[in-house]
Amino acid sequence: MDKVIYLDHASTTPTDPEVVAAMLPWFTEEFGNPSTVYSLGLVAAQAVQQARESIAGTIGAEPDEIYFTGGGTESDNWAILGTAEAQQEKGCHLVTSTIEHHAVLESVEYLEKRGYEITRVPVDGGGLVDPEDVRRALRPDTILVSIMHANNEIGAIEPIGEIGKLTREAGVLFHVDAVQTAGKLPLDVNDLGVDMLSMSAHKFYGPKGVGLMYARKRTRLTPLLHGGGQERGRRAGTHNVPGIVGMAKALELAAARMADDAAREASLRDRLWSGLSANIESIYLNGDPARRLPNNLNVRLDGIEGESMILMLDMEGICVSSGSACTTGSLEPSHVLLALGIPAEHAHGSLRVTLGRSTTAGDIDHFLAVFAPIVARLREMSPIWCANCVCKQRN
């Protein structure tokens, strides 16, 4: 195997060399704890503050509205659980969608078991939330709406600006999981009308293990982690200085090259879909064909399972996914695809291909060259595939 072709950038991304270079001094020469008062610690504290200011400027926030966390999962949990505890006197009703990341879904399930009421609004066949469904779900005791900016499996981009207007008019807090859109789409917290927003550095060529939550000023939020007084007393724990510096650098680079990356990746994605749809029978696009992330292609194929395709592509040096990396190994069909109305037996035959900066036209052409024979081989072995079956359903 001469080269690994990595096509799973929604799962994680390689850390940009410029980001690594920016981080290195904070592991060695400038290793001080930013909570200390001597010079080595003060230098580290200044680096954390500069990163805070840089990130805030990129998303239209104030520096003291940025809170550093251990990643997107922690940020999602904090937004939901912290709001629920802080807003108990107002109510115990939350609104989310049926296709959220498990970090959101399992957080609201945790609250539901403790007496909170959860409304899960549906999505259409393309994975899009109707803002009117959100409006109808709002109640006098609603304390939070949490809707993701774009879905991690099918790449559907939700109408966050419209939903933000509704929540603002209703006086309800609005949280957005922007883990998949940071670095890929322009983010301005004021234009979107959000009160809280989650982000994870490793999704935009930054390091793993660091993320952030934007929380608008005067947003009441109970801390999730207790201990020291870091992050203005709202998130305890020694700052991950190298990770924070790296995240700020990664976001700066991503913002600078966003338009070029999006145009190039969308072109390659369309090249891939054109080749797949022209050469493989019974292959279908999952998710809205237009309102989707530029690097995302999620397809399903009749007669075979996603895991088999992944393993055979891996033997060819190609890395792809069948859905969210957080549910790898699960035998259950994707909750996202089921929410789109796709039957479970068809949802199992899905594949997610997500492109990135390293993806080339040659990579796409190689994928197309090896994938068609893989599909043919798997269908030959499949007990549920019949090439000439008149009762085969096209979904």
Instruction: Return the biggest CA–CA distance within the chain.
Output: 77
Active site residues: 326
Q: Which residues contact 89 (CB under 8 A, 6 or more apart)?
A: none
User: Would you say the C-alpha torsion 278, 280, 283, 288 has a positive or negative sign?
Assistant: negative
